[in-house]
Every structure is written in structure tokens, then in C-alpha cells.
Amino acid sequence: MISGKKILVTGGAGFIGSHLCGKLLDLGNTVVCLDNFSTGKWENIQAFLSSPDFIVIEGDIRSLNVCRKAVEGIGYVLHEAALGSVPRSIKDPITTNEVNISGFLNVLLASRDAKVKRFIYAASSSTYGDSTLLPKVEDLIGKPLSPYAVTKYVNELYAGIFSKTYGMECIGLRYFNVFGQRQNPDGAYAAVIPLFVKKLIKREPPIINGGGEYSRDFTYIKNVVQMNLLALSVQNKDALNTVYNTAFGERTTLTQLVNYLKEYLGGYDPEIKNIEIVYGPNRAGDIPHSLASIEKARKLLGYNPEYSIKEGLREAVEWYWNNLK
């Protein structure tokens, strides 16, 4: 694994970014965290602030000057900064576009000019759009179903252009429904797992959009960290300048998910096991089913995910129980 390097993590105070910062520090790297703290939190990086190898730049990727400052002396970039959420992008497509496309391009351009060795970026399973093919294979995508999906696909196009035109090493990781410790349960655009957990801890019924049969390839944060480390360190040239599904490779319905959560949280509070699920209307822009093929990542990166959804949920639920009560 990579060590002794200077690495920039954009969005480093966010859910995924903070996990990447922690792991990279553990491996003996110097880590620069760039975040504007609009969705990232100081508490996510509190444990790293005393480290002399951890540098925080409070700034916005929509500023090219900020991006240029952040990449000074940087060897590798992990670009996690983005405005997530399909519903948020539908409500406010302009800001989503500014952050996810213009901001992305700023970081990419600054990285090119700073001669960064490798640029790893967070792509998204939303890029598969209206494709009904299961499992999802990297080269076969459909049309986007939301402004958010458009922005994440444009990221892939820009990365491809920069690799071909300027000789950059770029790898995109299409995240599939990442979950784990530090994922924010608050706000209008909270991810589904922490939202369900918060409801259940309060002994309130979780609300599932649709009939509960929509399914997702839920991916534990430690698998995502593993994929980023593999993308950073891979030496095989055939593995560069492409995109990879970042997932576990199994799908779980939303009803199954809530039942798992009820079971694991019920170990802390038996009353939770008796809570009934409430079903609501489908959300605009939602994809009915999502399942990743991880064969490409297995072959080219040596990826072998260590955590199933059940194993990940057990760890995550323990953290949520201790932090959300």
C-alpha cells in the first residue's frame, strides 16, 4: 500500500473523505484535506488535527486559486468533494452543476498544472441511468435520470479527455450506495441507512419510498477505502484511465435492509424489532434496481471486498447507537 507520499483529499472532512484521510495517515502519508465544510464536519477530522502530517485547507473547489494552493507539492489526489443527492440536484441543479462540474474541472486543471502523479475521483452508480441491465457493467450505461447523474458522467468525460490530451493518470470509482460510520443522518438529503437508523433508535417507523422492493448494492465504507488504496497504488498500465464499479456485488431490497437494521439495533433495544415499516411514494429520479459487476476491479486492481452488507451494518450500527442516542 502507498506510504510516504503527500496526498490531497478534497472533501476530506466529509463521510467518505474523512475515512480516506484517516487510513492514509495510518499508512504514513502526509494528508492535505480541502473542504468548505458545507456538508463536511470538523468533528469527522477531529482525531487527525493533532497530527503534524495532517493539513487542513478551508476552501471551496469552485475557486481555481484555492485548488491551485491545495495541490502545491501534491503527488496524488483523491477527489471526493461534491454535492451529492439526486433530490437536491433536482431542486437546485445550478449549484450541483457548479460544484460537481466546474469544481471538478478546477481540481483536475490544477492537478494537471501541478504535475500530480495520479488523480482518483469519486464517480457514481447514478451514471447507469435508465439502463435496466443487471449487473451493471462499466462500459454499458443508459441515459441519466437526474442533474446529479449528468454531473457525475461529465466528470468521467473530463477525466478521459485529460488523460488522452494531457497524459494524466486518472481513475474513476463509481460508488454504489456507500454506508458506514460518520454518515450524516440529518438534513433533507440524508442517505437512507443513517436516516432509517435514526428513526429506529427513536422507536419511530422508517418510511420507505415505494413498495420496498427497490434494491441497491449497499457498499460498506471500508470496501470503498480499499478500492481507493488499490487505485492509488496499482502499477498495471492497463488499470489506468478508466472507471470501476466500487461495490460489494450483491443487491438488497429496502425492506430487507430495514429488517437487518431492526435485527441489529434490536440487540441494543429489543423494542426496535417490533417497529412496523411505513411505505410512501417513489422518489423522482430514483433507479429501481442497482447491482454492480465487480469483475473488472477484481481483474485489474485485485479488488476483493472484505465486508458484506451484514458485516458492514453490524459495525456501523454499533457506531450509530453510540453516537445518535
Residues that are catalytic: 148
Q: Which residues pair with 174 in a beta bridge?
A: 123, 245
C-alpha cell at 231: 487505485
Element (H, E) at 130: none
C-alpha cell at 173: 470509482
Alpha-carbon distance 53 to 20, whole Å? 14
| Total length of the chain | 325
Asked, as a colleague might, if the bond just before 135 is cis with ω within 30 of 0, I would say yes
Q: How many CB atoms lie within 10 A of CB 276?
A: 7
Where b means 16+ CB within 10 Å and e means fewer, 32-55 reads: bbbbbeebbeeebbeebeeeeebb
DSSP alpha helices (H): ranges in 134-253?
147-166, 192-201, 221-233
C-alpha cell at 39: 456538508
Degrees to nearest 5, angle at CA 179 with 220 and 191: 160
Alpha-carbon distance 290 to 219, whole Å? 12
Half-sphere exposure (Cβ direction) of 55: Cα atoms closer than 13 Å: 16
Task: Give phi and psi for 255, each to the nearest 5.
Answer: -65, -45
C-alpha cell at 15: 463521510
